[in-house]
Chains A and B, each alone.
Chain A
Amino acid sequence: MKVSLFITCVSDIIFADVGKNTVEILERVGCEVDFPAAQTCCGQPAYNSGYLQEAKKSMKQMMRAFKDSKYVVGPSGSCVGMLKEYPAVFKGDPEWEEAANDLANKSFEITQFLVDVLGVTDLGSTFKGKVTYHPSCHMTRVLGVKDAPQTLLNNVKGVDFVELPVKEDCCGFGGTFAVKNPAISGEMVKEKSQHVSETNAEYLVGGDMGCLMNIGGRMRREGKNVKVVHITEILNTQEKGGGIA
């Protein structure tokens, strides 16, 4: 099966490992992965800030970049959720409506793709450690992916899983919200960090690097020793005897 990686701009620039792990997981389950180099950002920073015209420029670039792809798979519920909004944004636009529908229909978040499209629920991974999971808002409430990440995590050998209190609460990232309303965002991430501490987990796992960058950045600032990892990192760890390389 041919799959195009949608790396997301955050991982493209900062979290190279997330891209690598996603590629390797997809290949392990038999996909042929390509990386359309013309991809940029899904447009969400502008879209969520009310800059629709600016967002559309970015979105059009994404539609061009993934024009020939059969499946588009990305390691972010939020960014894939944005692609799913394209049809609403370009509704009635004769030039782009079809491309918007096409991209939305063929795009999937990585755990969603594994579980719902490929029917893979066990990647044969092993990861030793006490792990908690933050289900990101856009992954669960915008994209509607609630069970897939947990299903995959449950099948990783060696994981000592502990539920995050009030897990459905936002971490305070919210893209430009973190910069535009830093005081409120700060209080939200402090609370999330507190909840993570209450679990005594060694690893905080999530499916969106935006949220993880926020929570991880706060916990580092507080001098907390919790490692923050994207779910693909756990899923891509095989019999190596614990932790990440």
Chain B
Amino acid sequence: MSVKIGDVSYKDRIDKGIENEFMRQAVSSAQGRFRTGRLSQAEELGNWEDWRQLGSEIRTHTLENIDYYLQQLSDQVARRGGNVFFAETAEEANDYIENVVKKKQAKKVVKSKSMVTEEIGLNHCLENIGAEVVESDLGEWILQLDEDPPSHIVTPALHKNKEQIRETFAQKRGYDKSDDPEELAAFAREQLRKDFLSADIGITGCNFAIAESGAITLVTNEGNARMATALPDTQITVMGMERIVPTWEDMEVLVSLLTRAAVGQKLTSYVTSYTGARLEDEIDGPDDYHLVIVDNGRSKILGTEFQSALHCIRCAACINVCPVYRHVGGHAYNSIYPGPIGAVLTPLLDGYEDHKELPYASSLCAACTEACPVKIPLHEQLIRHREIIVEQEKKSPVAEKVMMKGFAKWASNPAAYKLSTKMARTALKPWTRDGNIENGPGPLKGWTDVRDFPAPPKQSFRTWWSNRQKEGKA
């Protein structure tokens, strides 16, 4: 896999999402729970806006000095016995990791949830060289067994119900019990425990790398990341280059924001910070440690109006409040990064050609911007994308261009504009029934497919106003 998931057209993806009743019900109920959790945590703190401000200042400072902090991080990791590889592209990252796997003659790799390894398509590369790759996050494991892409960045299997999961376990792993979530999870525990114990290499992502210390912080509830970092002798961390903070103190603030914004928890069950290779006489942890720092298109975002998109801490709060996401689901975005942050990031990482519809898949309601714990102006960045698509990429439809040229002429010419306020009623008369238009022409058609459009009134405001002025006010 890469950023892009498949080749289905935008319209077909939207229709498929809207028709998927189960998925929409699941997403809607999940959004409701996420919303309640996030809001109650914010309310309990009482000064959530201060926390957001702090989060935003930490991210801004870090990104503005990212070269310095990555240098410090890599020095510290090396000092603590780790290897650090800076990968400008997905290929470079995959090649390096493949080499480690080959050198270790590793047969089994156990992974904990990582978006960046989805992004670079790591699993596929490792499987191609004969390694068995096991995803250990429960949601990711379900998707891996079913060969299905994630639809959410925190709860990747949100679109699946327990009957479907039972079926997958039965077909792929001979599961013969009920669809009770506890039983399903117990089965996963038993199956994956064997994998953790027998894996040669553990691969994880990274929530926050602490520059001053070289520590990698992982935030999980299941404990799979702890397993993957404690048991195998070789360990590889893959991090998007922006997943860095200066100090423990900054990490602490961002973790507090992340767990509250993501799932409404004060902290997740496990927040684990590990540094380099294990120390002398330690049993747990790797004796061979590698940190792979991935650019893969991120550096191009630095110094642009989109820089703050790199502030993202992957909490999915924007996804959880987005009404568009609620109705179409994650797969409609055709990107491993769905929702508002996906609509912003995907064209930046993977180009406009395959993703030019995404910035328009938003009513610009700004719920995302309001929810973001690090204050990324998401809906404004969607408008910036639209400007680029129109003015630089020239990918907007011809009819729209003509309409907008017409708009500019109309709205900059008071006489023409005034005339239209008088003529609108007459112009729409052929389609008007009972004061409304139920089957509109041209651009009105999309509107009247789902709702009525009101016809202009007999007396326009301007007529009323000028009569009133003549009469010396009513």
Contact = CB atoms under 8 A, between A and B. Distances in A.
Interface of A: 7, 9, 11-17, 19-20, 23, 35, 37-41, 43, 45-55, 57-58, 60-61, 65, 137-138, 141-142, 168-170, 172-175, 177-191, 213-214, 216-218, 220-221
A187 B408 contact: no
A154 to B, nearest CB: 22
Interface residues of B, number: 64
Given A48-B383, A138-B366, A221 B408 contact: no
B202 to A, nearest CB: 41
B14 A183 contact: yes
Given A16-B459, A19-B465, A182-B446, A46 B407 contact: yes
A50 B364 contact: no
A220 B383 contact: no
Interface of B: 14-15, 18, 323-324, 327-328, 359-367, 369-370, 383, 385-391, 396, 400, 404-405, 407-414, 417-418, 420-421, 424, 436, 438, 443-444, 446-447, 449-457, 459-462, 464-465
B421 A13 contact: yes
A49 B461 CA distance: 28
A199 B457 CA distance: 29
Interface of B is mostly: helix
Contact of A35 (B370, B404, B412, B465): B465
8 contacts: A37-B462, A47-B383, A50-B389, A179-B446, A181-B324, A185-B450, A186-B450, A188-B324
Given A37-B418, A186-B451, A221-B452, 12 more contacts: A14-B456, A48-B386, A50-B383, A52-B390, A54-B405, A57-B411, A138-B365, A141-B365, A169-B365, A175-B364, A186-B450, A214-B451
Given A19-B465, A49-B400, A137 B454 contact: no
A37 B414 contact: yes
A54 B363 contact: no
Nearest to B17: A184
A213 B453 CA distance: 7
A12 B451 contact: no
Contact of B411 (A14, A41, A48, A186): A41
B249 to A, nearest CB: 31
Contacts of B364: 48, 137, 174-175, 177
What 10 pairs between A and B have smallest CB-CB spacing? A50-B386, A174-B363, A217-B451, A170-B365, A58-B411, A186-B450, A182-B446, A54-B408, A19-B461, A137-B365
Contact of A137 (B14, B367, B424, B459): B367
Contacts of B438: 221
A179 B396 CA distance: 14
A61 B411 contact: yes
What secondary structure prevails in chain A residues at the interface with B? helix
A11 B421 CA distance: 10
A141 B451 CA distance: 26
A188 B323 contact: yes
Nearest to B360: A180
B414 A181 contact: no
B462 A49 contact: no
Nearest to A62: B411
B472 to A, nearest CB: 13
A184 B361 contact: yes
Contacts of A35: 465
A23 B464 CA distance: 11
Given A178-B447, A180-B360, A46 B460 contact: no
Given A16-B464, A141-B367, A53 B391 contact: yes
A14 B404 contact: no
Which of A13, A39, A52, A177 has the most chain B CB within a 10 Å cutoff?
A: A13
Given A40-B411, A177-B363, A141 B369 contact: yes
Given A35-B465, A187-B18, A43 B366 contact: no
B304 to A, nearest CB: 16
Contacts of B18: 183-184, 187
Given A58-B407, A184-B18, A217-B453, A172 B412 contact: no
A212 B1 CA distance: 43
Contacts of B405: 54
B450 A65 contact: no
A15, A55, A173, A181 — which one has the most chain B CB atoms within 10 A of its CB? A181
Contacts of B396: 49-50
Nearest to B438: A221
Given A48-B383, A173-B363, A174-B365, A184 B411 contact: no
B352 to A, nearest CB: 12
B369 A182 contact: no
A33 B452 CA distance: 33
A137 B388 CA distance: 25
Contacts of B453: 213, 217
B454 A216 contact: yes
B11 to A, nearest CB: 8
A12 B390 contact: no
Nearest to A178: B447
Nearest to A54: B408
Nearest to A45: B407
B452 A220 contact: yes
Nearest to A168: B367
A9 B452 CA distance: 19
A86 to B, nearest CB: 14
Contacts of B446: 178-180, 182
B397 to A, nearest CB: 9
A214 B453 CA distance: 8
Looking at A14, A45, A58, which has the most chain B CB atoms within 10 Å of its CB? A14
Contacts of B460: 12-13, 16
B323 A7 contact: no
A180 B370 CA distance: 24
